[in-house]
Amino acid sequence: MAINPRLMQAKIEGAATGKVPFVDLKAQLTEISKEVESGIKDVLGSCDFILGEKVKKFEREFADYCGVQCAAGVASGTEALHLSLRALGLGEGDEVITQANTFIATVLAISYTGAKPVLVDIDPRTYNIDIKKIEQAITKRTKAIMPVHLYGLPADMDGISEIAKRHNLFIVEDSCQAHGAVYNSKNGTKKRTGSIGDIAAFSFYPGKNLGAFGDGGAVTTNNVELSERIKMLRDYGQTAKYHHISKGYNSRLDTMQAAVLSVKLRFLDKWNLMRANHAKRYCEFLSGIPEVKLPSLPDDEQSHVFHLFVVRAEERDALKDFLSEKGISAGIHYPIPNHLQEAFKELGYRRGDFPITENYADEIISLPMFPELRFDQIRQVAQTIKEFYGR
Ligand SMILES: *Cc1c(COP(=O)(O)O)cnc(C)c1O
């Protein structure tokens, strides 16, 4: 059969100008589908749907991976944060410090307990909580600091630990964007996020670095007693069937999701390194465009797991539209800072309270990032950005 040359040409053009999704969950499925299907079949075979054996197995594996004593599977990242604060005994009359630029769930989780969220601006270089501004937010009511390892970069945990020690505060890590990230401490130790504070929360939302096939989350800690309290709270506050010592919740990790996560956990380091590589490529391609400010790449490629690849760009909204016209999906994380959200009106913040967060909200743009992203797709994104700025 003769090949139609016009069709061939169309195919080649299609390859060079194909769509670039923001995340591509299907691409990942191909690699793991056989193992995942067998894991799911096991669960179907046993009908062990709620807190089954595979939940315990995954909890063990995830604790070992993070380098902590205990992990408890819960229903979502939001619940992991909420139950962590509850397990620490926080509630009405307490204050918890976190950063103004984070996903709303961080702040919601604090509100759920009755405690008051107290926000702090971000460090302009890292986008994480500015440790120089934490102490002025501390009051007699402050009980905990909740640093977020935003976009996959660990917060300044040395600095935060010093402040927490000085003021006798708990540290609750929001590790929902940083599965597997390694923090290099000043004292030379390397620790994974989720093993540094008193307790830590992870989300397994499908698009996260370690994602389930639905909602899921986990709480990690070295404190066995705290972990037991999480397990009590997630299961109606019971310590044995129908013995309820607290007004707990129904907030458990499904056995089906645990089966999926056990398979995916074995790929996490590889996928994180692929993300770090893509980030390096983006930075190479995009250096020399003065309108685009790049994130700083850490020396150690495990110490930023690039859940998101965020740059700051002049004329951000027009750039995002231009990328979209060219078939490239980008995101904004996050367009409205928490202190300006209607939901948190009662906190009494105003525009101008957190200038870095507010300025960045108008400039940040998240470029496509997922492990299976291809070299030619990264180049296409970069070329399209150059085209937008006429470079
Ligand atoms: C995703 C996320 C959460 C919430 O996780 P869910 O599983 O969606 O409930 C909390 N904090 C941060 C920083 C997140 O990115």
pTM of the model: 0.95
pLDDT value, residue 301: 87
**Atom in ligand 1 nearest the alpha carbon of residue 78:** 9
Q: What is the dihedral of CA 336, 337, 343, 347, to 10 degrees?
A: -150
User: Which residue spans within 162-289 are E strands per DSSP?
Assistant: 170-174, 182-184, 190-192, 199-203, 217-221, 238-240, 243-244
Distance 285 CA to ligand 1 centre (A): 30
**Atom in ligand 1 nearest the alpha carbon of residue 81:** 10
pLDDT value, residue 2: 46
> Pocket residues for ligand 1 (CB within 6 Å)?
76-78, 102-103, 105-106, 148, 174, 176-177, 203, 205, 215, 217
Q: How confident is the model at residue 14 (pLDDT cuts 50, 70, 90)?
A: very low
Mean pLDDT of 309-335: 98
280 CB neighbour count, 10 Å cutoff: 14
- Nearest protein Cα to ligand 1, atom 2: 176
Distance 103 CA to ligand 1 centre (A): 7
Distance 216 CA to ligand 1 centre (A): 10
Q: Token pair 């977020």 is at which residue? A: 148
Q: How confident is the model at residue 17 (pLDDT cuts 50, 70, 90)?
A: low
Distance 17 CA to ligand 1 centre (A): 33
Asked if the peptide bond before residue 183 counts as cis, ω within 30 degrees of 0, the response is: no
Q: Are 329 and 22 a contacting pair, CB within 8 Å?
A: yes
pLDDT value, residue 298: 86
**Atom in ligand 1 nearest the alpha carbon of residue 208:** 1
Distance 1 CA to ligand 1 centre (A): 53
Which residue in 47, 65, 68 sits closest to 261, CA to CA? Answer: 65
Please provide the distance, in angstroms rounded to a whole number, between the alpha carbons at the two ends of the chain: 44
**Atom in ligand 1 nearest the alpha carbon of residue 203:** 7
200 CB neighbour count, 10 Å cutoff: 30
Mean pLDDT of 105-132: 98
Residue 5: pLDDT above 80?
A: no
Tens of pLDDT, residue by residue over 177-230, are 999 999 999 999 999 999 999 999 999 999 999 999 999 999 999 999 999 999
Q: What is the SS3 assignment for 157?
A: helix
Mean pLDDT of 147-159: 98
User: Which residue spans within the chain are E strands per DSSP?
Assistant: 70-74, 95-99, 116-120, 142-145, 170-174, 182-184, 190-192, 199-203, 217-221, 238-240, 243-244, 292-293, 309-313, 364-367
Amino acid at 314: E
Residue 354: pLDDT above 70?
A: yes
Q: Are 331 and 308 a contacting pair, CB within 8 Å?
A: yes
**Atom in ligand 1 nearest the alpha carbon of residue 177:** 15
